[in-house]
A and B are shown apart, each in its own frame.
Chain A
Amino acid sequence: MTIRRARRAVQILTLGMIVLIPILNRAEITFLSGTFYSLAIGPVWITDPIIGFQTMLTSLRIDKALLLSMVIPLAAAAVLGRVFCSWMCPQNTLSEWVDHLADRLSSKRMFTFRTPRHVRTAVTAAVVLAAPLAGFPLASLLSAPGIISAQTARLIKEGAVGAEVILIAVILIAELFVARRVWCSTLCPVGGFLALFRFRRTMRVALVEDAQHHCGRCHACDEACQLGLAPMAGDIQPVCHNCGDCIDTCARLQHGARPLVFKR
């Protein structure tokens, strides 16, 4: 099975849960509740780390439950890299789909550029610092996965969505016509914050050549990368979110001899 197939299954399951959880909640089955801002699986709480962190900054208060609920996503990011982004984030799923749509329409984007590797980190820092100045958790309005899940829940519960969804529409239109996958690769503060928790042993894509595995310099992996990175050249952090598309492509062309692997 290719990595992509497993990933698609998880992505579809995630989209399903985004719809199912509010429906179950409405029927007063509340074992699972919440959104990608903050999710409750029974007694286990999971909060988006940037949302939790900026809230502590703006409120000048450390809520123990909030801090504790950030542990699971941070641990996952530290061990597996940003698999949340590539395997679960509904914005990434939508953006991937829009990217395929752009291929079909042969949409020429207004700008093509090599993905700058540190702009997203700078955006993240700006958002986190602006939140206490604004006096409210600004990142909440910029969390695409949060907005998609919370507004779906709101649609199911209240029959209406808020202006927050405009951001999602803007992202998708921009990615279709202005610059390829620009939100995830260059702007998203949620991904930017998770990327801060990457360490030496964090899972990543690596080019490992030995007697059996060698790179033919075909650059098919560059083509496969939606985020505009060059996995073969190695300069892919902190943008790469471990989607594995490059590894799949490499495996297809090189069979067992693929040099691109997930490495810890």
Chain B
Amino acid sequence: MNSKPLRPPGAIAETDFLATCIRCGKCAQICPYGSIRTAGFLDGPVMMGTPVIVPRSKPCYLCMKCPPVCPSGALRREMKRKEDVRMGIAKIDDKECLAWQGTLCRSCYDDCPLFGEAIVMDKELRPVVDEKKCVGCGICENVCPVEEPTIKVRPGGRT
């Protein structure tokens, strides 16, 4: 796992999250998609037991069931609207992205849950992320047809 993991929707800033999350696993238990995994021993003792999302294996579908069950407030319980989520920001690698390299592809655009808002197609039919709208759910990263996804979520970065 890279330095900063992707947290479930509503997570507070990473340092505070590590101090506040009680590692109870309730969010993972409630997640209907099994998107929330539990960090293990190899991620380090500080990380162990905390919830993480690995978009390439399963992204967050923004059902918003996990924030209200958090007993400690590590996930903001009042987070109700998916548009308000700020888990991270998707970044496109335009050197590798098929659409940016001239092949017709709109997988990320089509599957973005904030359709037509967080990812828009420019005049030359290339996807562009609107950083103000993107919630960081990772669905785009999950559906990217390139073997090493050319659109990836950078966790956190803002609150």
> How far, in whole Å, are A157 and B51 apart by their CA atoms in the complex?
13
Q: Is B114 an interface residue (CB 8 A)?
A: no
Q: Is the CB of B22 within 8 A of A37?
A: yes
The stretch among B1-9, B25-33, B135-143 that forms the contact with chain A is B25-33
Q: Is the CB of A140 within 8 A of B22?
A: yes
Q: Is A63 an interface residue (CB 8 A)?
A: yes
- The number of residues on chain A lying at the interface, defined by a beta carbon within 8 Å of a beta carbon of chain B, is 38
Chain A residues with CB under 8 A of B38: 154, 158, 162
Q: Is A254 an interface residue (CB 8 A)?
A: no
> How far, in whole Å, are A25 and B66 apart by their CA atoms in the complex?
12
Question: How far does the Cβ of B46 sit from chain A's closest Cβ, in whole Å?
Answer: 5
Summed over the interface, the residue pairs from A and B with CB atoms below 8 Å come to a total of 117
Chain A residues with CB under 8 A of B45: 141
> Binary interface profile of A, 31-61, with partner B (CB < 8 Å = 1, else 0)?
0011101101000010100011001001111
Nearest-CB residue, chain B, relative to A162: B40
> Binary interface profile of A, 132-143, with partner B (CB < 8 Å = 1, else 0)?
001111001100
> Binary interface profile of A, 120-141, with partner B (CB < 8 Å = 1, else 0)?
0000000000000011110011
Q: Is the CB of A33 within 8 A of B30?
A: yes
Q: Is B48 an interface residue (CB 8 A)?
A: yes
Chain A residues with CB under 8 A of B101: none
Chain B residues with CB under 8 A of A40: 26, 69, 71
Q: Which of A108-164 contact B (CB under 8 A)?
A: 134-137, 140-141, 146, 150, 153-154, 157-158, 162-164
Known contacts A150-B23, A158-B34; decide if A38 and B29 are in contact (CB<8 Å).
no
Question: How far does the Cβ of B51 sit from chain A's closest Cβ, in whole Å?
Answer: 11
Q: Is B19 an interface residue (CB 8 A)?
A: yes
Chain B residues with CB under 8 A of A135: 15, 18-19, 46
> How far, in whole Å, are A62 and B72 apart by their CA atoms in the complex?
9
Question: How far does the Cβ of A131 sit from chain B's closest Cβ, in whole Å?
Answer: 9
> How far, in whole Å, are A58 and B22 apart by their CA atoms in the complex?
10
Chain A residues with CB under 8 A of B41: 162-164
Known contacts A134-B46, A154-B28; decide if A45 and B71 are in contact (CB<8 Å).
yes
Q: Is the CB of B23 within 8 A of A141?
A: yes
Q: Is the CB of B29 within 8 A of A157?
A: yes
Chain A residues with CB under 8 A of B34: 157-158
> Binary interface profile of B, 30-57, with partner A (CB < 8 Å = 1, else 0)?
1010100110110001101100000000
Q: Is B24 an interface residue (CB 8 A)?
A: yes
Q: Is B145 an interface residue (CB 8 A)?
A: no
Q: Is B16 an interface residue (CB 8 A)?
A: yes
Q: Is A169 an interface residue (CB 8 A)?
A: no
Q: Is the CB of A136 within 8 A of B24?
A: no
Chain B residues with CB under 8 A of A163: 40-41, 48
Chain A residues with CB under 8 A of B69: 33-34, 40
Q: Is A65 an interface residue (CB 8 A)?
A: yes
Question: How far does the Cβ of A133 sit from chain B's closest Cβ, in whole Å?
Answer: 11
Question: How far does the Cβ of A36 sit from chain B's closest Cβ, in whole Å?
Answer: 9
| Interface hub of B16, B24, B26, B46 (most chain A Cβ within 10 A) | B24
Nearest-CB residue, chain B, relative to A54: B22
Q: Is the CB of A65 within 8 A of B71?
A: yes
**28 A-B contacts, Cβ less than 8 Å apart?**
A25-B30, A33-B69, A35-B29, A38-B26, A40-B69, A47-B72, A52-B22, A52-B72, A55-B19, A55-B22, A55-B72, A58-B19, A61-B73, A63-B72, A66-B71, A135-B18, A135-B46, A137-B21, A140-B49, A141-B23, A141-B48, A150-B23, A154-B28, A154-B38, A158-B38, A162-B41, A163-B41, A164-B41
A37-B23, A38-B26 are known contacts; what are 12 more A-B pairs with Cβ within 8 Å?
Answer: A33-B30, A34-B26, A37-B22, A37-B25, A58-B20, A59-B16, A65-B77, A135-B18, A137-B21, A150-B23, A158-B34, A164-B49
